[in-house]
Amino acid sequence: MSHVPRPASVPPGRLWPQWREPARQQLRLMWRELAGLSVTGWEASVRLSPAGIEAGRWLAGFSPLGVAHDRLLALPGRLGMPAPARSLYQQGLGQARQVYLGLDQTEADVVAKVYLESALPAPDLRRQPVRQRHAALQIQGYKWSLTRSLPHRLTEYWRLSGLDGVAMVELLRAADGVPPASQSAYRLVARVLADAIARDPAWHGFRLLLVREPTSPRSSIGMRLYGSQLRAGVLAEGLLQLGASWGLAPEALKHLITVWADHELGWLHAGTSAQGQPFLIFYCALNHAQARAALMSAEVVTPRHACALPEN
């Protein structure tokens, strides 16, 4: 099948797109929520699929420890989360050890996100028989459109235990049950994990998440890579290969790699969308200055007030 090359959503040399007003307004609301809180990290991500490259993806996390319960309960209402999702959030709040606020801007939509991460025991990273492997719900994501009349989405992230790093690589390479169009993305995740383990056999920070949406056919996996010391530049060859098969413009991919190459690689997600399209998302840590630049580009904060941005 031939593809028309798709452009990137961000001009060359820039981390962030031109934020549209719904995104700017939501970032302002999220910035207010973060005021005075213990921010634990900032993150950006880029999503690639045959439909194009989407880089308007921003996330911040904070610890709920010491935050007034009433403030946390009212947070989704202040952000405009639909009532059904708000109820689910409030049910899960008691188990949360981290709260994340996120925003995705695409050409078609702007989506707000709130995640709750539960405290779980350390995973079993030994290779176990299949029947002894188990999954535990680690993160729940509540997502809603700011520009379209669409139902909210609940995304569940289940952490898989009972595999060591080599077994995870084998599982991802096999890609059993994965639609053929998405298998190359899973195998790219496998290559990157194998590279990380080969570089530092003592590193055991990898985590494999199974991602599902109860009301959607979407399916994916997430691989945690924080602590591996990998930079996004390790993805260069794989992204160019995926891009060629997905019809993405090579010039846009090369610009993307140049911009992100030196950023710490935190997560890789691969999967199949609800529409049946393959996708790959890479997540990178942001430092204080880069997080500030995102908010300044959205006119959320001014250079004069940027020094007030919470440190992580």
CA 289 – CA 25 distance, rounded (Å):
21
Per-residue burial over 46-57, b = 16 or more CB atoms within 10 Å of its CB, e = otherwise = bbbbbbbbbbbb
Overall residue count recorded for the chain in this entry: 312
Query: What does the domain layout of the chain look like in residue ranges?
Result: 21-120+133-308
Q: Give the model confidence (pLDDT) of 89-114 as tens digits.
A: 999 999 999 999 999 999 999 999 99
pLDDT for position 10: 47
Q: How far is CA 288 from CA 18, 31, 265, in A?
A: 20, 14, 16
pLDDT beneath 50: ranges in the chain:
1-13, 305-307
pLDDT confidence of residue 271: 98
Helical H segments across the chain, by residue range = 21-34, 69-79, 83-92, 165-174, 180-199, 236-246, 250-260, 288-297
pLDDT tens track for 123-149 = 999 999 999 999 999 999 999 999 999
* pTM of the model as a whole: 0.92
Task: Report the pLDDT value the prediction gives residue 168, as an integer from 0 to 100.
Answer: 98
Quote the pLDDT of residue 293: 78
pLDDT given for residue 16 in this prediction? 78
Beta carbons within 10 angstroms of residue 276's beta carbon = 11
d(CA 108, CA 113): 16
Q: Please give the pLDDT value at position 312.
A: 57
Looking at residue 11, its pLDDT comes to: 44
Contact between 6 and 244 under an 8 Å Cβ cutoff? The reply is: no
